[in-house]
Amino acid sequence: MDDRRVVITGIGLVTPLGMGIKPVWEGLTSGRSGIGPITRFNPEEYACRIAGECRDFQPEDWVDKKEIKKMDLFMHFGVAGAHLAWQDAGITVTEENAHRIGVIIGSGIGGLTAIQNQAFTLKERGPRRISPFFIPMSLINLISGHVAIRYGLKGPNHAVVTACATGAHAIGDAMRIIKRGEADVMLAGGAEAAICELAVGGFAAAKALTSRNEDPTAASRPWDQGRDGFVMAEGAGIVVMETLESAQKRGANIYAEVVGYGMSGDAYHITAPQPDGDGAARCMLAAINDAKINPEQVDYVNAHGTSTPIGDHMETLAVKRAFGQEHAKKLMISSTKSMTGHLLGAAGGVEAIFTALALHSGVLPPTINLTDPDPACDLDYVPNTAREVQTTYALSNSFGFGGTNATLVLKRFH
């Protein structure tokens, strides 16, 4: 069964750059930033007062009005992303195939906004005022539950929780589920909505966020000497994946083939990456080995590239370890977080989609705000302007707190 080929046939994007493929991809390839002042709460007292909010998103466009209050915002994003992907793929569920279609959509933090707000309610109004929907509105696996119920999908129903590697792990795990023959079609990815007082305050207390509040669109600047932390963002990135045989039989549009998946652990620190990049390098090499290709065949890397001083330097070292100095210099690398901010558990899903679209369209998105490159970060980061170039193999990297790493290898589909 492991020789089954797995392709992406549906894409769902909910991001600070907009919703759906066309507006998001146009924004990304034109180098537009989706970062602005926080509006979800009054951020006046916070060290970081900017974020990548999904300002175009209206829950009632995607969720029945009676259901909105039963779900945290991260679920609204996940359901919307899944709907867009499902609609794009155009698959019909029948009694015969329902048990062969599954869902694996995760989140790094989940219903933190609901947890925070219900804690406020408990303190201010007492335990009798806690919502009866509080528990199901905060559970991470409930996106997969809602999506499966909505479409009648009776195959594997699962969720991943690996911090900022969540979306990539979900897609990789779903690919393997299909390869093993446990399902023919999977909806996979991640969703996040953590722009709330508790999360922004917590990440700021950990010194992880930027303090470049006066210039939001220039705040996320991976590999630049002026980088000082990441910009929190929200949204969802969901794909429909299926066997190549299934996709070709129904004449589906194929964006890319998922050919490799690697995982590793740093075993180093709860929040900091391993400084020499060993864990990330091993992860990339595991994915390349899984794809049965040589490192020299990879043309492009959609990097984790968070805009943190340590993280960006580590990833540069990791790329050199994995590919060798000579080929590392030839690679084209970009951090789309320079435009979207960091979508935490949704980042891996969104960035795998960006990687697929780069292969599909022959356009590599840029790393914006790279105006004063860090001499220690000396690779080709596709600075400031998108690049038209046809690539064959591409990597998408996602690394999370706790030293959890995920890499996907995607291939342009001929």
Residues belonging to the active site: 164, 304, 342
- Max alpha carbon distance in the chain (Å)? 64
The Cα–Cα gap between 314 and 304 comes to: 10
Judged by phi (left if over 0) then psi (alpha if -120 to 50, else beta), residue 402 lies in left
The Cα–Cα gap between 74 and 275 comes to: 32
The Cα–Cα gap between 196 and 202 comes to: 10
- Closest to 412 (Cα-Cα) out of 296, 323, 300: 300
Pairing of strands 185-192, 157-158: unpaired
Which residues of 138-192 form beta strands (DSSP E)?
157-158, 185-192
The Cα–Cα gap between 222 and 311 comes to: 9
The Cα–Cα gap between 273 and 290 comes to: 23
Pairing of strands 6-15, 18-19: antiparallel
Q: Is 32 exposed, middle or buried (0-12, 13-18, 19+ CB in 10 A)?
A: middle
What's 74's DSSP letter? H
The Cα–Cα gap between 284 and 345 comes to: 19
CA distances from 68 to 77, 79, 339 (A): 11, 11, 29
Residues 48/307, Cβ–Cβ less than 8 Å: no
The Cα–Cα gap between 153 and 111 comes to: 23
As a dihedral over the C-alpha atoms of residue 112, residue 118, residue 122, residue 124, rounded to 10 degrees, the angle is: 100
Residue 243 backbone phi and psi in degrees, to 5: -65, 150
Residues 100/184, Cβ–Cβ less than 8 Å: yes
Q: Which residue has the tokens 């490159």?
A: 373
